[in-house]
Protein backbone atom coordinates (compact mmCIF):
# COMPACT_ATOMS: atom_id res chain seq x y z
CA UNK A 1 0.00 0.00 0.00
CA UNK A 2 2.86 2.43 0.80
CA UNK A 3 4.07 2.32 -2.82
CA UNK A 4 0.55 3.18 -4.00
CA UNK A 5 0.49 6.21 -1.69
CA UNK A 6 3.89 7.32 -2.95
CA UNK A 7 2.72 7.01 -6.55
CA UNK A 8 -0.35 9.07 -5.67
CA UNK A 9 1.75 11.81 -4.09
CA UNK A 10 4.01 11.91 -7.16
CA UNK A 11 1.00 12.20 -9.45
CA UNK A 12 -0.47 15.05 -7.41
CA UNK A 13 2.79 17.02 -7.49
CA UNK A 14 3.25 16.45 -11.23
CA UNK A 15 -0.34 17.50 -11.89
CA UNK A 16 0.05 20.67 -9.81
CA UNK A 17 3.16 21.67 -11.77
CA UNK A 18 1.35 21.07 -15.06
CA UNK A 19 -1.37 23.44 -13.83
CA UNK A 20 1.17 26.25 -13.36
CA UNK A 21 2.17 25.86 -9.72
CA UNK A 22 5.89 26.65 -9.52
CA UNK A 23 6.46 24.22 -6.65
CA UNK A 24 4.46 21.79 -4.55
CA UNK A 25 4.69 19.40 -1.64
CA UNK A 26 2.20 16.54 -1.30
CA UNK A 27 1.62 14.28 1.68
CA UNK A 28 -0.66 11.27 1.46
CA UNK A 29 -1.61 9.45 4.63
CA UNK A 30 -3.52 6.26 5.30
CA UNK A 31 -4.47 5.17 8.83
CA UNK A 32 -6.48 2.19 10.00
CA UNK A 33 -7.67 2.46 13.60
CA UNK A 34 -9.49 -0.01 15.82
CA UNK A 35 -10.55 0.43 19.45
CA UNK A 36 -12.80 -1.30 21.98
CA UNK A 37 -13.89 0.06 25.35
CA UNK A 38 -15.55 -1.86 28.19
CA UNK A 39 -17.49 -0.14 30.96
CA UNK A 40 -18.99 -1.79 34.04
CA UNK A 41 -19.47 -5.19 32.48
CA UNK A 42 -20.67 -4.06 29.05
CA UNK A 43 -19.20 -3.13 25.70
CA UNK A 44 -19.16 0.67 25.75
CA UNK A 45 -17.56 1.59 22.45
CA UNK A 46 -16.45 -0.21 19.31
CA UNK A 47 -14.59 1.62 16.59
CA UNK A 48 -13.06 0.50 13.33
CA UNK A 49 -12.12 3.06 10.69
CA UNK A 50 -9.80 3.70 7.78
CA UNK A 51 -8.87 7.22 6.80
CA UNK A 52 -7.06 8.30 3.65
CA UNK A 53 -6.17 11.92 3.06
CA UNK A 54 -4.09 14.24 0.91
CA UNK A 55 -2.43 17.44 2.04
CA UNK A 56 -0.80 19.62 -0.60
CA UNK A 57 1.23 22.79 -0.22
CA UNK A 58 1.16 24.98 -3.30
CA UNK A 59 3.57 27.74 -4.31
CA UNK A 60 2.07 29.89 -7.04
CA UNK A 61 3.48 33.22 -8.28
CA UNK A 62 5.14 33.97 -4.94
CA UNK A 63 2.06 32.95 -2.98
CA UNK A 64 1.40 29.95 -0.76
CA UNK A 65 -1.50 27.81 0.39
CA UNK A 66 -2.01 24.56 2.30
CA UNK A 67 -4.95 22.44 1.19
CA UNK A 68 -6.39 19.04 2.02
CA UNK A 69 -8.93 16.56 0.72
CA UNK A 70 -10.06 13.02 1.41
CA UNK A 71 -11.28 12.49 -2.16
CA UNK A 72 -8.32 10.91 -3.94
CA UNK A 73 -10.18 9.71 -7.03
CA UNK A 74 -8.26 10.64 -10.20
CA UNK A 75 -11.29 12.41 -11.63
CA UNK A 76 -11.58 14.57 -8.49
CA UNK A 77 -7.93 15.64 -8.17
CA UNK A 78 -7.83 17.78 -11.31
CA UNK A 79 -10.76 20.05 -10.32
CA UNK A 80 -9.46 20.16 -6.73
CA UNK A 81 -6.06 21.42 -7.89
CA UNK A 82 -7.59 23.89 -10.35
CA UNK A 83 -9.65 25.36 -7.52
CA UNK A 84 -6.84 25.57 -4.98
CA UNK A 85 -4.30 26.98 -7.44
CA UNK A 86 -6.75 29.69 -8.48
CA UNK A 87 -7.46 30.51 -4.84
CA UNK A 88 -3.74 30.65 -4.07
CA UNK A 89 -3.23 33.35 -6.71
CA UNK A 90 -5.59 35.59 -4.76
CA UNK A 91 -3.48 35.49 -1.61
CA UNK A 92 -0.79 37.94 -0.48
CA UNK A 93 2.81 37.60 -1.61
CA UNK A 94 5.16 36.02 0.91
CA UNK A 95 8.81 35.62 -0.15
CA UNK A 96 9.59 33.43 2.86
CA UNK A 97 7.21 30.67 1.80
CA UNK A 98 9.29 28.22 -0.19
CA UNK A 99 10.42 24.62 -0.21
CA UNK A 100 13.57 23.80 1.77
CA UNK A 101 16.96 23.86 0.10
CA UNK A 102 17.39 20.37 -1.41
CA UNK A 103 20.53 19.90 0.67
CA UNK A 104 18.20 19.58 3.66
CA UNK A 105 16.88 16.34 2.18
CA UNK A 106 20.34 14.73 2.12
CA UNK A 107 21.62 12.22 4.66
CA UNK A 108 18.24 10.80 5.54
CA UNK A 109 18.48 7.80 7.85
CA UNK A 110 17.82 4.62 5.89
CA UNK A 111 18.02 2.01 8.65
CA UNK A 112 15.16 0.28 10.44
CA UNK A 113 13.70 2.30 13.31
CA UNK A 114 11.47 -0.66 14.21
CA UNK A 115 8.26 1.33 13.96
CA UNK A 116 6.13 -1.37 12.33
CA UNK A 117 5.00 -4.61 13.97
CA UNK A 118 3.81 -7.02 11.30
CA UNK A 119 3.21 -9.88 13.75
CA UNK A 120 1.30 -7.59 16.09
CA UNK A 121 -0.99 -6.38 13.31
CA UNK A 122 -1.71 -9.96 12.25
CA UNK A 123 -2.59 -10.92 15.83
CA UNK A 124 -5.13 -8.15 16.50
CA UNK A 125 -8.73 -7.75 15.36
CA UNK A 126 -12.00 -6.46 16.80
CA UNK A 127 -12.62 -9.67 18.72
CA UNK A 128 -9.15 -9.60 20.30
CA UNK A 129 -9.51 -5.94 21.31
CA UNK A 130 -12.86 -6.66 22.99
CA UNK A 131 -11.38 -9.60 24.84
CA UNK A 132 -8.44 -7.54 26.12
CA UNK A 133 -10.73 -4.70 27.23
CA UNK A 134 -12.91 -7.19 29.09
CA UNK A 135 -9.87 -8.83 30.70
CA UNK A 136 -8.69 -5.42 31.87
CA UNK A 137 -11.97 -4.82 33.68
CA UNK A 138 -11.88 -8.27 35.21
CA UNK A 139 -8.36 -7.59 36.41
CA UNK A 140 -9.54 -4.29 37.93
CA UNK A 141 -12.30 -6.01 39.86
CA UNK A 142 -9.84 -8.64 41.11
CA UNK A 143 -7.15 -6.15 42.17
CA UNK A 144 -6.38 -5.38 45.84
CA UNK A 145 -8.89 -2.82 47.14
CA UNK A 146 -11.51 -3.54 44.47
CA UNK A 147 -14.26 -3.60 47.11
CA UNK A 148 -14.07 0.22 47.01
CA UNK A 149 -14.54 0.33 43.23
CA UNK A 150 -17.54 2.30 41.94
CA UNK A 151 -16.99 2.21 38.20
CA UNK A 152 -14.46 0.82 35.76
CA UNK A 153 -13.69 1.75 32.16
CA UNK A 154 -11.08 -0.14 30.19
CA UNK A 155 -9.98 -0.30 26.60
CA UNK A 156 -7.58 -1.58 23.96
CA UNK A 157 -6.73 -0.27 20.53
CA UNK A 158 -4.23 -0.08 17.73
CA UNK A 159 -3.37 2.00 14.68
CA UNK A 160 -1.55 1.16 11.46
CA UNK A 161 -0.46 4.27 9.60
CA UNK A 162 1.43 5.01 6.40
CA UNK A 163 2.75 8.41 5.33
CA UNK A 164 4.40 9.49 2.12
CA UNK A 165 5.77 12.88 1.11
CA UNK A 166 6.91 14.18 -2.26
CA UNK A 167 8.40 17.62 -2.89
CA UNK A 168 8.79 18.98 -6.39
CA UNK A 169 12.45 19.89 -5.81
CA UNK A 170 13.62 16.32 -5.28
CA UNK A 171 12.43 14.89 -1.96
CA UNK A 172 10.54 11.59 -1.72
CA UNK A 173 10.08 9.55 1.44
CA UNK A 174 7.71 7.10 3.09
CA UNK A 175 7.17 5.80 6.59
CA UNK A 176 5.02 3.06 8.08
CA UNK A 177 4.27 2.52 11.73
CA UNK A 178 2.06 0.85 14.30
CA UNK A 179 0.77 1.77 17.76
CA UNK A 180 -0.85 -0.52 20.33
CA UNK A 181 -2.37 0.65 23.60
CA UNK A 182 -4.36 -0.45 26.62
CA UNK A 183 -5.80 1.62 29.46
CA UNK A 184 -7.87 1.44 32.63
CA UNK A 185 -9.82 4.09 34.56
CA UNK A 186 -11.19 3.39 38.03
CA UNK A 187 -13.38 5.50 40.32
CA UNK A 188 -13.63 4.62 44.02
CA UNK A 189 -15.58 5.54 47.13
CA UNK A 190 -14.37 8.38 49.32
CA UNK A 191 -15.71 10.72 51.97
CA UNK A 192 -18.99 12.44 51.13
CA UNK A 193 -19.71 12.51 47.42
CA UNK A 194 -16.09 12.42 46.32
CA UNK A 195 -15.21 9.79 43.73
CA UNK A 196 -11.46 9.87 43.06
CA UNK A 197 -10.40 8.51 39.69
CA UNK A 198 -7.21 6.64 38.97
CA UNK A 199 -5.95 6.03 35.44
CA UNK A 200 -3.08 4.12 33.93
CA UNK A 201 -2.18 3.20 30.37
CA UNK A 202 0.54 2.11 28.02
CA UNK A 203 1.19 2.73 24.32
CA UNK A 204 3.96 1.03 22.33
CA UNK A 205 5.09 0.40 18.78
CA UNK A 206 5.41 -3.38 19.23
CA UNK A 207 2.46 -5.30 20.67
CA UNK A 208 4.72 -7.67 22.61
CA UNK A 209 6.04 -4.68 24.60
CA UNK A 210 2.65 -3.97 26.19
CA UNK A 211 2.62 -4.64 29.94
CA UNK A 212 0.20 -7.17 31.40
CA UNK A 213 -3.46 -6.28 31.85
CA UNK A 214 -3.02 -7.05 35.57
CA UNK A 215 -0.28 -4.45 36.01
CA UNK A 216 -2.29 -1.74 34.22
CA UNK A 217 -5.46 -2.53 36.18
CA UNK A 218 -3.74 -2.70 39.55
CA UNK A 219 -1.92 0.59 39.00
CA UNK A 220 -5.09 2.40 37.94
CA UNK A 221 -6.92 1.19 41.05
CA UNK A 222 -3.96 1.96 43.33
CA UNK A 223 -3.88 5.54 42.06
CA UNK A 224 -7.58 5.97 42.72
CA UNK A 225 -7.27 4.56 46.25
CA UNK A 226 -4.30 6.74 47.27
CA UNK A 227 -6.19 9.83 46.04
CA UNK A 228 -8.83 9.38 48.75
CA UNK A 229 -9.10 11.72 51.72
CA UNK A 230 -7.04 14.33 49.91
CA UNK A 231 -6.52 17.77 51.39
CA UNK A 232 -4.67 20.95 50.67
CA UNK A 233 -1.50 22.00 52.45
CA UNK A 234 -0.85 25.60 53.39
CA UNK A 235 0.70 27.93 50.83
CA UNK A 236 4.50 27.84 51.04
CA UNK A 237 7.67 26.85 49.26
CA UNK A 238 8.24 23.09 49.37
CA UNK A 239 10.75 20.66 47.90
CA UNK A 240 9.03 18.46 45.38
CA UNK A 241 9.40 15.38 43.22
CA UNK A 242 7.57 15.18 39.89
CA UNK A 243 6.68 11.65 38.83
CA UNK A 244 8.09 10.48 35.49
CA UNK A 245 4.68 9.91 33.87
CA UNK A 246 3.74 13.60 34.18
CA UNK A 247 7.08 15.30 33.49
CA UNK A 248 6.13 15.72 29.78
CA UNK A 249 3.84 18.58 30.86
CA UNK A 250 6.76 20.52 32.32
CA UNK A 251 8.98 19.81 29.33
CA UNK A 252 6.24 20.79 26.90
CA UNK A 253 5.91 24.17 28.60
CA UNK A 254 9.66 24.70 28.25
CA UNK A 255 9.85 23.67 24.59
CA UNK A 256 6.72 25.40 23.30
CA UNK A 257 8.31 28.88 23.39
CA UNK A 258 11.23 27.56 21.30
CA UNK A 259 9.03 27.42 18.19
CA UNK A 260 9.79 29.69 15.27
CA UNK A 261 6.61 31.76 15.44
CA UNK A 262 7.12 32.65 19.11
CA UNK A 263 10.80 33.47 18.53
CA UNK A 264 10.22 35.56 15.39
CA UNK A 265 7.32 37.48 16.91
CA UNK A 266 9.25 38.04 20.15
CA UNK A 267 6.59 36.28 22.20
CA UNK A 268 9.04 33.91 23.84
CA UNK A 269 10.91 34.33 27.11
CA UNK A 270 13.63 32.17 25.51
CA UNK A 271 14.16 34.38 22.44
CA UNK A 272 17.39 35.88 23.83
CA UNK A 273 18.58 32.79 25.68
CA UNK A 274 20.38 30.87 22.91
CA UNK A 275 23.76 29.84 24.30
CA UNK A 276 22.73 30.91 27.80
CA UNK A 277 21.71 29.09 30.96
CA UNK A 278 18.04 28.20 31.25
CA UNK A 279 18.32 25.57 33.97
CA UNK A 280 20.44 23.52 36.30
CA UNK A 281 23.68 21.85 35.15
CA UNK A 282 21.73 18.59 35.46
CA UNK A 283 19.31 19.58 32.72
CA UNK A 284 20.17 17.98 29.37
CA UNK A 285 17.39 17.45 26.82
CA UNK A 286 18.05 15.64 23.56
CA UNK A 287 15.63 15.55 20.64
CA UNK A 288 16.02 12.06 19.15
CA UNK A 289 13.83 11.43 16.09
CA UNK A 290 15.86 8.29 15.30
CA UNK A 291 15.11 6.46 18.56
CA UNK A 292 14.25 2.82 17.72
CA UNK A 293 10.58 2.13 18.51
CA UNK A 294 10.14 5.76 19.58
CA UNK A 295 6.54 6.98 19.52
CA UNK A 296 7.55 10.12 17.60
CA UNK A 297 10.44 8.68 15.60
CA UNK A 298 10.65 9.79 11.97
CA UNK A 299 13.29 10.20 9.29
CA UNK A 300 11.81 13.43 7.87
CA UNK A 301 9.96 16.35 9.41
CA UNK A 302 6.93 18.35 8.30
CA UNK A 303 9.00 20.25 5.73
CA UNK A 304 10.53 17.07 4.36
CA UNK A 305 13.94 17.86 5.84
CA UNK A 306 15.98 14.90 7.05
CA UNK A 307 15.88 14.53 10.81
CA UNK A 308 18.82 14.12 13.16
CA UNK A 309 19.57 13.90 16.84
CA UNK A 310 20.25 17.28 18.38
CA UNK A 311 20.73 18.67 21.89
CA UNK A 312 18.08 21.19 22.87
CA UNK A 313 19.48 21.94 26.30
CA UNK A 314 22.93 20.76 27.35
CA UNK A 315 24.04 21.04 30.99
CA UNK A 316 21.50 23.81 31.45
CA UNK A 317 22.50 25.79 28.35
CA UNK A 318 19.99 26.34 25.53
CA UNK A 319 21.55 25.00 22.32
CA UNK A 320 18.88 25.43 19.64
CA UNK A 321 15.54 26.86 18.64
CA UNK A 322 12.93 24.75 16.82
CA UNK A 323 12.78 26.52 13.47
CA UNK A 324 10.90 25.26 10.44
CA UNK A 325 11.90 26.41 6.97
CA UNK A 326 9.48 29.36 6.95
CA UNK A 327 10.41 30.97 10.25
CA UNK A 328 14.11 30.31 9.72
CA UNK A 329 13.82 32.32 6.50
CA UNK A 330 12.02 35.15 8.30
CA UNK A 331 14.74 35.17 10.97
CA UNK A 332 17.52 35.02 8.41
CA UNK A 333 19.01 31.85 9.82
CA UNK A 334 19.24 28.13 9.07
CA UNK A 335 16.27 25.84 9.82
CA UNK A 336 16.53 23.12 12.45
CA UNK A 337 13.13 21.45 12.58
CA UNK A 338 9.65 22.73 13.25
CA UNK A 339 9.03 20.65 16.35
CA UNK A 340 10.59 18.19 18.74
CA UNK A 341 10.15 14.43 18.39
CA UNK A 342 11.27 12.05 21.14
CA UNK A 343 12.68 13.93 24.12
CA UNK A 344 15.35 12.04 26.03
CA UNK A 345 16.80 13.00 29.41
CA UNK A 346 19.69 11.19 31.13
CA UNK A 347 18.98 8.78 33.95
CA UNK A 348 20.07 9.27 37.54
CA UNK A 349 20.75 6.66 40.20
CA UNK A 350 17.60 6.51 42.34
CA UNK A 351 14.05 5.36 41.72
CA UNK A 352 10.94 7.31 42.69
CA UNK A 353 11.01 6.00 46.27
CA UNK A 354 14.67 6.98 46.51
CA UNK A 355 13.95 10.50 45.30
CA UNK A 356 11.17 10.87 47.88
CA UNK A 357 13.52 9.58 50.57
CA UNK A 358 16.13 12.15 49.52
CA UNK A 359 13.49 14.90 49.60
CA UNK A 360 12.40 13.92 53.11
CA UNK A 361 9.49 16.34 53.41
CA UNK A 362 7.59 17.92 50.56
CA UNK A 363 5.18 17.18 47.72
CA UNK A 364 5.19 14.30 45.26
CA UNK A 365 3.41 15.55 42.13
CA UNK A 366 1.57 12.76 40.32
CA UNK A 367 -0.67 14.83 38.05
CA UNK A 368 -1.22 18.30 36.58
CA UNK A 369 -4.70 19.79 36.25
CA UNK A 370 -5.08 22.60 33.75
CA UNK A 371 -3.02 25.71 34.28
CA UNK A 372 -1.09 27.93 31.92
CA UNK A 373 2.31 29.25 30.91
CA UNK A 374 2.87 32.80 29.66
CA UNK A 375 5.24 32.23 26.75
CA UNK A 376 6.36 35.87 26.76
CA UNK A 377 7.43 35.95 30.41
CA UNK A 378 7.90 32.32 31.43
CA UNK A 379 5.54 32.64 34.38
CA UNK A 380 3.26 29.67 34.99
CA UNK A 381 0.58 28.32 37.30
CA UNK A 382 -0.42 24.66 37.22
CA UNK A 383 -3.01 22.81 39.27
CA UNK A 384 -1.53 19.69 40.82
CA UNK A 385 -2.51 16.49 42.52
CA UNK A 386 -0.19 14.19 44.40
CA UNK A 387 1.01 13.08 47.82
CA UNK A 388 2.32 14.87 50.89
CA UNK A 389 5.62 13.27 51.88
CA UNK A 390 7.15 13.17 55.36
CA UNK A 391 10.15 11.18 56.43
CA UNK A 392 10.63 10.24 52.80
CA UNK A 393 7.26 8.42 52.66
CA UNK A 394 3.88 9.48 51.22
CA UNK A 395 1.49 10.36 54.06
CA UNK A 396 -1.71 11.57 52.44
CA UNK A 397 -3.12 12.78 49.13
CA UNK A 398 -3.01 16.47 48.24
CA UNK A 399 -5.38 18.32 45.95
CA UNK A 400 -6.68 21.83 45.29
CA UNK A 401 -3.14 23.18 45.13
CA UNK A 402 -1.21 25.08 42.46
CA UNK A 403 2.45 25.07 41.51
CA UNK A 404 3.54 28.49 40.26
CA UNK A 405 6.65 30.47 39.40
CA UNK A 406 8.95 31.13 36.47
CA UNK A 407 10.09 28.37 34.10
CA UNK A 408 13.78 29.28 34.18
CA UNK A 409 13.73 29.44 37.98
CA UNK A 410 11.93 26.08 38.08
CA UNK A 411 14.57 24.33 35.97
CA UNK A 412 17.41 26.06 37.81
CA UNK A 413 16.13 24.31 40.95
CA UNK A 414 16.46 20.81 39.47
CA UNK A 415 18.43 18.76 42.01
CA UNK A 416 18.28 15.18 40.76
CA UNK A 417 16.99 12.93 38.01
CA UNK A 418 15.63 9.46 38.73
CA UNK A 419 16.48 6.18 37.04
CA UNK A 420 12.87 5.51 35.99
CA UNK A 421 12.18 7.02 32.53
CA UNK A 422 8.55 6.69 31.51
CA UNK A 423 8.57 4.37 28.49
CA UNK A 424 5.02 4.86 27.18
CA UNK A 425 5.50 8.37 25.84
CA UNK A 426 7.59 10.22 23.29
CA UNK A 427 9.14 11.93 26.31
CA UNK A 428 11.66 9.50 27.85
CA UNK A 429 12.01 11.49 31.04
CA UNK A 430 12.59 10.08 34.55
CA UNK A 431 11.13 11.43 37.77
CA UNK A 432 12.65 14.75 38.81
CA UNK A 433 13.52 16.17 42.22
CA UNK A 434 13.44 19.94 42.70
CA UNK A 435 14.50 22.33 45.43
CA UNK A 436 11.86 24.47 47.11
CA UNK A 437 9.12 25.62 44.70
CA UNK A 438 6.08 27.80 45.35
CA UNK A 439 2.84 25.95 46.07
CA UNK A 440 -0.44 27.65 46.91
CA UNK A 441 -3.11 25.90 48.89
CA UNK A 442 -5.12 26.74 51.97
Same domain, 99 and 122: no
Residue 368 gets the label, from left (phi > 0), alpha (psi -120 to 50) or beta, of beta
For residue 111, is it within any domain? no
Q: Does residue 366 share a domain with residue 260?
A: yes
Q: How far, in Å, CA of 38 to CA of 412, rounded?
A: 44
367-412 per-position pLDDT tens digit: 999 888 999 999 999 999 999 999 999 999 999 999 999 999 999 9
Q: How far apart are CA 338 and CA 342, in angstroms?
A: 13
Q: Are residues 190 and 249 in the same domain?
A: no
In a shared domain, residues 59 and 179: no
Mean pLDDT of 37-55: 94
Same domain, 150 and 101: no
Return the pLDDT at 164.
96
pLDDT score of 299 more than 90:
yes
- In this structure, the number of other CB atoms found within 10 A of the CB of residue 361 comes to 13
Does 42 fall in a domain?
A: no
- What average pLDDT does the segment 15-21 reach? 95
Angle (CA) 19-24-25 rounded to 5° is 140
Is residue 213's pLDDT more than 80? yes
**Residues present in the chain in total:** 442
| CB-CB neighbours of 288 under 10 Å | 21
Task: Please indicate, yes or no, if residue 138 is contained in any of the structural domains.
Answer: yes
Q: How confident is the model at residue 1 (pLDDT cuts 50, 70, 90)?
A: low
Q: Are residues 143 and 70 in the same domain?
A: no
Q: Is residue 165 part of a domain?
A: no
424 and 406 housed in the same domain = yes
Are 431 and 282 found together in one domain?
yes
What percentage of the chain carries pLDDT values higher than 90? Answer: 97
- Domain harbouring 54, CATH code: 3.30.2290.10
**Res 82: pLDDT:** 95
Q: What is the pLDDT of residues 257-291, one digit of tens each?
A: 999 999 999 999 999 999 999 999 999 999 999 99
Mean pLDDT value of segment 9-13: 95
Is 336 contained in some domain?
yes
- Asked if residues 425 and 297 have their Cβ atoms less than 8 Å apart, the reply is no
> With contact defined as beta carbons under 8 Å apart, do 109 and 305 qualify?
no
Assess whether 20 and 59 both reside in one domain: yes
Evaluated on CA atoms 329, 330, 333, 336, the torsion sign reads: negative
Number of domains within the chain? 3
Task: Note whether residue 375 is domain-resident.
Answer: yes
Same domain, 324 and 215: no
SS (H, E, C) the chain: CHHHHHHHHHHHHHHHHHCCCCEEEEEEEEEEEEEEEEECCEEEEEEEEEEEEEEEEEEECCEEEEEEECCCCHHHHHHHHHHHHHHHHCCCCCCCCCCCCHHHHCCCCCCCCCCCCHHHHHCCCHHHHHHHHHHHHHHHHHCCCHHHEEEEEEEEEEEEEEEEEEECCCEEEEEEEEEEEEEEEEEECCCCCCCCEEEEEEEECCHHHCCCHHHHHHHHHHHHHHCCCCECCCCEEEEEEECHHHHHHHHHHHHHHHEHHHHHCCCCCCCCCCCCECCCCCCCEEECCCCCCCCCCCCECCCCCECCCEEEEECCEECCCECCHHHHHHHCCCCCCCCCCCEECCCCCECHHHHHHHHCCEEEEEEEEEEEECCCCCEEEEEEEEEEEECCEEEEEEEEEEEEEEHHHHHHCEEEEECCCCCCCCEECCCEEEEEEEEECC
Which backbone phi and psi does 245 adopt, to 5 degrees?
A: -65, -20
Range of the domain at 135: 118-159+170-226
Predicted confidence at residue 8, as pLDDT, reads: 94
Last residue of a domain, one of 205, 226, 247: 226
Please tell me whether residues 177 and 326 are part of one structural domain.
Answer: no
> pLDDT value at position 134?
96
How do residues 192-206 score in pLDDT, each as one tens digit?
888 999 999 999 999
Are residues 278 and 330 both part of a single domain? yes
Does residue 314 lie within any of the structural domains?
A: yes
How confident is the model at residue 283, as a pLDDT? 98
Amino acid sequence: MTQNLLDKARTVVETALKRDAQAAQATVRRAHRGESAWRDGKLDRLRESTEVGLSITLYVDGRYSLNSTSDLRPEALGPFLDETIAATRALALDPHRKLPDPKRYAGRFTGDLKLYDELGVAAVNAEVRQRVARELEQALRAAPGATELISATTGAGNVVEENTMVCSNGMEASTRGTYFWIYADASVRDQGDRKPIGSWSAVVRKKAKLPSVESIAQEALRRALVARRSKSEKSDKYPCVVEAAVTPRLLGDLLGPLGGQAIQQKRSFLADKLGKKVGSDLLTITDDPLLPEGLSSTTFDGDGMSTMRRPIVERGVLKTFLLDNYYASKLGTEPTTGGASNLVLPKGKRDLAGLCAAMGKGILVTGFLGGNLNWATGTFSLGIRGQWVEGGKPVHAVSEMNLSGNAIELWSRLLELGNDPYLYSSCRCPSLRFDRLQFSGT
